[in-house]
Chains A and B, each alone.
Chain A
Amino acid sequence: MSYLLESVIALIIVIVQVLASHFLSFGGAMPDLAVIFLAFIIVSRGQLVAEIGGFLLGFALDILSSGTLGAHALSLTLAGFLLGYFFDEELVKQRLRNWPFLLFVFAASVIANLVYYFFFTAGSGLSFTAYAMSRGGLTSLYTVIVAIIPMYYWSRQTLY
């Protein structure tokens, strides 16, 4: 997939996440579509592209969602950087088609949530651990469940 097409898809994903957040939310949590796309970049493109992609995805989310500018950008950048260490060019297709993709989604979601909630709760009187565990845990789980859809789609595609 070309970078241009990926950028367009990323923008659509961010817009859908912002516009449809109310319809997708369940029990106060909502699937993080941006994290699913970031996991795809990590698995298919490697560390450098993942951290830049994470930053751009997060920044777009910050602008459109009226959150603290830079908070999502930082959390997704760090998630892309840390998980980029596990990039393996030879295992791209196998990973996208199987459970390792869900593992990447889960890990990216946990890292991004921990970083985001750290800044979200700082100086507000909210308990970081309690908040990250309750909200972050549910969001990560929900995101992984939704990530099964693209994983299933890729598993139906021919490998070579």
Chain B
Amino acid sequence: MRRLLNLFILFKEYVVLTLLVFLSFFFMALSRSTEVQSLRAVTTILVGSLQSLYAWIPNPFVLSVENEELRKHNILLLSELAQLRRAKGENDELRRLLAIKPRQGWKLLAAEIVGKTSIGDRNMLTLSAGEQSGIKKGMAVMTDGGLIGRVFSTSGGFSLVEGLFNRDMRVAVKIARTRVDGILGWEGGDELVVRNVPKALDVKEGDLVVTSEYSTFFPSEVPVGIILKQEPEPNTLFRKIYVMPSAHPFRVEHCYVILKDEELEKEKASLETKASDELNKKNTIGNLKKKK
């Protein structure tokens, strides 16, 4: 025992290092567990409360940039509004003729961004609204420009938002003009990247990228960005598309959380159940036929 103790004292630095490395890996493995998520909710309250103390301090640079962007958007929106009103009338009429249920509107909740954290390239925003306002984990967050992220964790009065410029973020998107689908992510740098888009499909610089209906987190048709450039991926049939985001999470002071529409969710779930039931039926019939 004494020899063991002497050995430990002799190599204490290595023993402690092994223990700490082991602990670090253990915590990494636990990172997505429920217990850690609960801890995150507590830290969200703590950090959010502290950040809300100095959130009133205006950042003149951010405000002037935001105002300038808002003015531009306003002019563009006014011209688009007239076109959209006409298009909506036509759309409603066609939907009625085709007997398709009208699309549900988004339920938006305005929130103030009280904190912006950027540690080790994990960009997070703290919102001044939380579970008490109906915000839940996974909800989409946007500005008037477009999508900026999704709710990562919530507490009573605050929410932590994971920005688009995050290595874990993946968004199912499509090109608004041609309905070409892709997966949007971030690979470092100032642009977002859409991968696995076949070279043969019609994609042009300047095309608008919006969220796809295949996304489990985001409602469809939320603007994400504009295509800046594209380049073929060597030795594949695909190309890589660079997207300039419509809204930059670090250049805004206010945002909107898209509250999930319960009815729409139920409808989606029932459609998915119906589809899986039909698939099961087909499989069963197929198996019976094979047996026969």
Contacts from A to B (Cβ < 8 Å): 15, 17-19, 21-22, 25, 30, 47-48, 51-52, 55, 58-59, 61-74, 77-78, 81, 84, 116, 119-121, 124-127, 130-131, 134-135
- Chain B positions 1-57 with a Cβ under 8 Å from a chain A Cβ: 12-13, 16-17, 20-21, 23-28, 30-31, 36, 39-40, 43-44, 46-47, 50-51, 54
Report B's interface with A, CB cutoff 8 A: 12-13, 16-17, 20-21, 23-28, 30-31, 36, 39-40, 43-44, 46-47, 50-51, 54, 115-122, 124, 152-153, 160, 167-168, 185, 187-188, 195, 250
Max chain B CB contacts within 10 Å: which of A72, A74, A78, A121?
A74
Is the Cβ of A67 less than 8 Å from the Cβ of B119? yes
Residues of chain A contacted by B54 (CB below 8 angstroms): 19
Assembled-state Cα–Cα distance A69/B120 (Å): 12
Q: Supply 11 A–B pairs (Cβ within 8 Å), ascending by A.
A: A30-B119, A51-B20, A59-B27, A63-B43, A66-B153, A70-B28, A71-B120, A74-B20, A74-B25, A78-B21, A81-B13
Partner of A22, one of B44, B50, B116: B116
* Distance, CA A127 to CA B189, complexed state (A): 11
Q: How far is the CA of A69 from the CA of B27 in the complex (A)?
A: 6
A18–B119 touching, CB < 8 Å: yes
Of B12, B16, B40, B121, the most chain A CB neighbours within 10 A belong to B121
Q: Distance (Å) between the CB of B277 and the closest chain A CB?
A: 35
Chain B nearest CB from A130 CB (Å) reads 7
Complex interface: chain B residues within 8 A of A134 (CB): 188
Contact between chains at A18 and B47 (CB < 8 Å):
yes
Q: Of all chain B residues, which has the CB nearest A131?
A: B188
Complex CA gap A150/B194 in Å reads 45
Nearest opposing residue in chain A for B117, CB measure: A21
The 3 A-B pairs with the shortest beta carbon distances in the complex, nearest first, are A70-B27, A74-B24, A65-B119
Q: Given contacts A66-B124, A69-B31, are A55 and B23 in contact (CB under 8 A)?
A: yes
Complex contact B188–A130 (CB within 8 A): yes
> Within the assembled complex, what's the spacing in Å between the Cα atoms of A110 and B121?
15
State the CA gap A134–B168 with chains docked (Å).
20
Q: Is the CB of B17 within 8 A of A70?
A: no
Closest residue of chain B to A15, judged by CB? B50
Please judge, given known A-B contacts A15-B50, A64-B47, A66-B117, whether A51 and B17 are in contact too, CB under 8 Å: yes
Q: A62-B27, A70-B26 are in contact. Are A52 and B152 (CB under 8 A)?
A: no
How far apart are the CA atoms of A12 and B160 in the complex, in Å? Answer: 21
What's the minimum C-beta distance from A137 to chain B, rounded to whole angstroms? 13
- CB of B120 within 8 A of CB of A116, answer yes
Contacting residues, chain B, for A58 (C-beta < 8 A): 24
Kindly provide the distance from the CB of A74 to the nearest chain B CB, expressed in whole angstroms. Answer: 4
Contacts of A25 in B (CB 8 A): 118
Query: Does the CB pair B23–A70 fall under 8 Å?
Result: yes
Central interface residue in A17, A59, A69, by most chain B CB within 10 Å:
A69
**Highest count of chain A CB atoms <10 Å: which of B12, B27, B118, B120:** B120
In the assembled complex, the CB of A49 is this many whole angstroms from the nearest CB of chain B, namely: 10
Q: Which of A59, A66, A121 sits near B43, CB closer than 8 Å?
A: A66
Judging by beta carbons under 8 Å apart, are B27 and A125 in contact? no
Tell me the minimal C-beta distance from A143 to chain B in angstroms: 13
Complex contact A21–B16 (CB within 8 A) = no
Bound-state CA distance A134–B13 (Å) is: 33
A70 touches B24 (CB 8 A): yes
Residue of A nearest to B62 (CB): A22
Contact B31 A68 (CB under 8 A): yes
Contact yes or no, A126 B188, CB < 8 A = yes
Nearest CB to that of B25 among chain A residues? A70
* Complex Cα–Cα for A116 and B115 (A): 24
B250:A69 contact, CB within 8 angstroms: no
Docked Cα-Cα span, A112 to B39, in Å, equals 25
Q: Are A66 and B152 in contact (CB under 8 A)?
A: yes
| Closest chain B CB from A57 CB (angstroms) | 12
Residues on B with beta carbons closer than 8 Å to the beta carbon of A125: 185, 187, 195
Chain A residues whose CB sits within 8 angstroms of the CB of B17 once the complex forms? 51, 77, 81
Docked CA distance A127–B44 (Å): 31
Q: How far is the CB of B168 from chain A (nearest CB, A)?
A: 7
